[in-house]
Amino acid sequence: MEFKDYYATLGVERSATQDEIKRAYRKLARKFHPDVSKEADAESRFKEVAEAHEALIDPERRAAYDEISQRHARGEAFEPPPGWDSGFEFSGRGGAGPGAQQQPSAEDFSAFFESIFGRGGPSARPAAGGHRQAPGRDHHAKVMIDLEDSYRGAHRTITLRVPVVDAQGHVALHDRQLEVNIPPGVREGQHLRLTGQGGPGHGGEPAGDLYLEITLKPHPRFRVDGRDVYVDLPVSPWEAALGASVAAATPAGDVLLTIPAGSSQGRKLRLKGRGLPGKQPGDLYAVLTLTLPRADSDAAKAAYTSLQAAFPDYHPREALEG
């Protein structure tokens, strides 16, 4: 098991006060919180920072960690002795909490953390007692789909790791597979509800629901904005000036697009209803991008020269002249 240097994670000295630890955590949490951060690895960095904070902010845990840490520094292999944590009473964090995996949650701590402090997260303690009447918890997980999946709908197999309590009250993690139909038209950040697929109910109460948060994988060609989809469409100067019929790719297949004569750079051509499907389907916008052929042959140079001759009064920088 890999030893974790919680002080290094927070960037504080081993002698740091609890206040210094709290300040360091707050600063890093603001920087890496998955809801506010755009850092590429924000989620995993935030988990590390939250775990380090959880270990060090509690004086009892910090003392236990420091002792293990000193032995580690002396070169002893890190191996928590059995029953190491029996002398400590860790209250863990109470309150409501999600239990599905793939969940950005501070309670998803590493095996290293759990080997020292036990499982701190509420997901480890399903319904105290286990037999009183309580409906099952609702769980949350994330699922990433392609833009094409959102156009056509998709079928996904999702594996969830859920804690299950046996008759003796022991907790074990079970893999559970779900076959899910993702309806067409679902958008980034929306949630799918799978009724009755959350935590089990107790005492005859119904199971909770499972919520899947949708993430759209970025597409190399299409840009998505809510229901609308944008695509750049390169055109030649004569196609833009004279008009043309060109094939344009859409996530639902190629379409024939009419470019009106006299189009200029950046003109948006709307294909109504060709965005994401739904009760109110989105639109697809083809954004014209003018490309210029290179003047790399005598014939090409002659063509540009005659173009120049045809527009003796054309001033591209007229607007700049004051």
Partner 1 sequence: MADTSTHVIDGVVVEEAIVFSLSGLCQAAGASPAQVLALVDEGVLQPTGDAPQQWAFAGPSLRTTRTALRLNADLALGTAGAAVVLDLLEEISALRARLRRAGLE
Interface residue list for partner 1 (CB under 8 A):
26, 29-30, 33, 35-36, 46, 50, 95-98, 104, 106, 135, 137-138, 140, 155, 164, 174-183, 185-187, 189-195, 197, 200, 208-209, 211-213, 223-226, 228, 230, 232, 278-279, 285, 287
- What are the residues facing 232 on neighbouring strands? 287
Alpha helices in the chain (DSSP H): 6-10, 18-32, 42-57, 59-73, 111-117, 147-152, 237-242, 298-310
Q: How far is the CB of 110 from partner 1 (least distance, A)?
A: 17
Q: Which is nearer to partner 1, 68 or 98 (CB)?
A: 98
Residue 119 or 161: which CB sits closer to partner 1?
161
270 forms beta bridges with 285
Least Cβ distance, residue 182 to partner 1 (angstroms) = 6
Q: How far is the CB of 73 from partner 1 (least distance, A)?
A: 30
Q: Which is nearer to partner 1, 131 or 174 (CB)?
A: 174
Estimate the crossing angle of helix 42-57 against helix 18-32, to 10 degrees: 160
Find where tokens 């002698």 sit. 15
Task: Decide whether 127 or 186 has the Cβ nearer to partner 1.
Answer: 186
CB of 115 to partner 1, least distance (A): 24
Distance, in Å, from the CA atom of 58 to the CA atom of 23, rounded to the nearest integer, reads 14
- The residue (of 71 and 193) whose beta carbon lies closer to partner 1 is 193
**Selection from 137, 134, 155, 52 nearest residue 100 by Cα:** 137
3-state secondary structure of 246: strand
CB of residue 284 vs partner 1: minimum separation in angstroms? 12
Give the integer Cα–Cα distance in Å for 31 and 57.
Answer: 19
